Amino acid sequence: MESMVMTEEAWRHHNVFITGGPGLLGSSLIKQLLTKKANVIALVRDQVHHSPFYKDGHDKQVTIVKGGVEDYHTVERALNEYEIETVFHLGAQTIVGTALRSPLSTFESNIKGTWNVLEACRQSKMVSRVVVASSDKAYGTQKNLPYTEDAPLQGRDNPYDVSKSCTDLISLSYHKAYGLPVGITRCGNFYGPGDLNWNRIVPDTIRSLYYGKNPVIRSDGTYIRDYVFVDDGAHANITLAENLHRPEIQGNAFNFSTGNKVSVLELVKKITTLFPSTLEPVILNQAKGEIKDQYLSSEKAKRMLNWEAQHTIDQGLVKTIAWYKEFLIKHG
C-alpha cells in the first residue's frame, strides 16, 4: 500500500497497530494517538494494572488483541482483521538485567518478535508504514561519541544489546530487500510517569526517597547516559511515522535525544534536589555487562524531520516526581 502524507486530519480514524502498548513508551504513544482520534489496536501480553494504559483508561479506548509478538499468527491476524495501516513495533524485553538472567526469552521477544511483525507487515496488503523501536544500545561500545547514525551496530556487551542490533538490522533488511516502508527510532534511556520497572534508576530513586531511604546506585555512578522524557519519545515515533511517505526517510534510522549527557550520580543528585531530599546515594559498584558511556547526536532527526525534544531533563523530572508521589500515596 502506498504511503500517504500524514496530517492531523489524516490520523483521524486511521487504523494503528501498536505492540508493547501497556509499556512506558506505548502508554504515552497511545495517549497522543487517541488525541489525534486514531483507531488504536494494541497487542497486549501482560496486564500491568497500575500502568498508565489502565490507570488512564486507555484499555477502554482501544481495541486489545491478547498475545505476544512471539506469535506470528496473532500478529498477522490482527493486521488483516483490523485493516491496519500504520504499525508501531515497540514490544520488547527492555531490561538489561533480565536479559542477562534470561537471554533466550529476550531473543525470542526482541529478535523473533521483530521478524514476526515485519513479515506480517510484508504480507499485508494494507500496511503503509512501519516504525520500529530500536535503541542506543544497538550501537554497542564505540570509540567516538556521541553516537551518530552511521556508526556500526555492534552490540555485544550483553544479550539485550545484541538483540537491539539484530532488531535494527532485520528492520533495515526488510526495507532493502522488500521495499517495506520502515523507519527506525534509536532513543536514549526513557524515563517518565508510569514506569513501573522499579529496578530502573529513576523510579527506584524516587521510591527510595519517598520512603526516606538512601537511593542505591548499582554502578560506580560515573556511567554516562542520555535520558529522554517519554512524551518526547512518543512524539519522535509519531514524527517519524508522519514522514515515512518520503522515499529518503524510508529505510533510515534516527537518533532521538536531548543532547545532554548525564552521569548516573548526577541524575540521582538531580532527583534528590528536586524531590527535595538530603539523603545521599549508596554506591554499590556492582554493575556488570553494561556499556560505560552512551549518548546520542540527534542532528539528523532535527535536520530531516524537524524534531527536537520539548523537555529538559529537569522539566521531565519535575513531572515524573509529581506522578510518583501521587502514585505512591495511593498504592504504596
Determine the Cα–Cα distance for residues 39 and 149; give it in Å rounded to an integer.
32
Residue 218 lies in a domain: no
pLDDT on residue 325: 97
Residue 329 lies in a domain: no
Residue 210 lies in a domain: no
Please give the residue range of the domain that contains residue 180. Answer: 8-189+230-257+293-311
pLDDT on residue 2: 54
Determine the Cα–Cα distance for residues 249 and 268; give it in Å rounded to an integer.
37
For residue 87, which of 22, 42, 140, 24 has the smallest C-alpha distance?
A: 42
Q: Is 160 a catalytic residue?
A: yes
- Looking at the structure of the chain, the number of domains it has is 1
Residue 170 lies in a domain: yes
Residue 50 lies in a domain: yes
Q: What is the mean pLDDT of residues 137-165?
A: 95
Catalytic position from the list 147, 160, 191, 324 = 160
Average pLDDT of the chain, as a whole number: 94
Over its C-alpha atoms, the chain yields an Rg (Å, rounded) of 19
Q: Assign 331 a pLDDT band (cuts: 50, 70, 90).
A: confident
pLDDT on residue 106: 96
Q: What is the mean pLDDT of residues 30-57?
A: 92
Contacts within 8 Å (CB) and 24+ apart, 143-146:
145/293, 145/294, 145/295, 146/226, 146/257, 146/259, 146/261, 146/295, 146/296, 146/297
Q: What percent of the chain has pLDDT over 70?
A: 99
pLDDT on residue 281: 96
pLDDT on residue 97: 85
User: 50-97: per-residue pLDDT in tens?
Assistant: 888 998 999 999 999 999 999 999 999 999 999 999 999 999 998 888
Q: What is the mean pLDDT of residues 196-205?
A: 94
User: 292-320: per-residue pLDDT in tens?
Assistant: 999 999 999 999 999 999 999 999 999 99
Q: What is the mean pLDDT of residues 197-213?
A: 96
End-to-end CA distance of the chain: 48
Query: Minimum mean pLDDT among 46-50, 187-191, 247-251, 322-326: which range?
Result: 46-50
* DSSP letter (8 states) at residue 136: G
pLDDT on residue 81: 97
pLDDT on residue 3: 60
- 136: CATH: 3.40.50.720
pLDDT on residue 46: 85
Q: Give Cα 81 to chain centroid, integer Å.
A: 26
Residue 214 has pLDDT above 90, yes or no: yes
Edge-to-edge strand ranges of the sheet holding 63-66: 63-66, 39-44, 15-19, 86-89, 129-133, 182-187, 252-256
Residue 302 lies in a domain: yes
| Residue located via cell numbers 481495541 | 63
pLDDT on residue 47: 83
Residue 265 lies in a domain: no
pLDDT on residue 289: 75
Query: Minimum mean pLDDT among 119-123, 127-131, 210-214, 257-261: which range?
Result: 257-261
Residue 249 lies in a domain: yes
User: 244-258: per-residue pLDDT in tens?
Assistant: 999 999 999 999 999
pLDDT on residue 51: 86
pLDDT on residue 253: 98
Residue 332 has pLDDT above 80, yes or no: no
Q: What is the mean pLDDT of residues 9-36?
A: 95
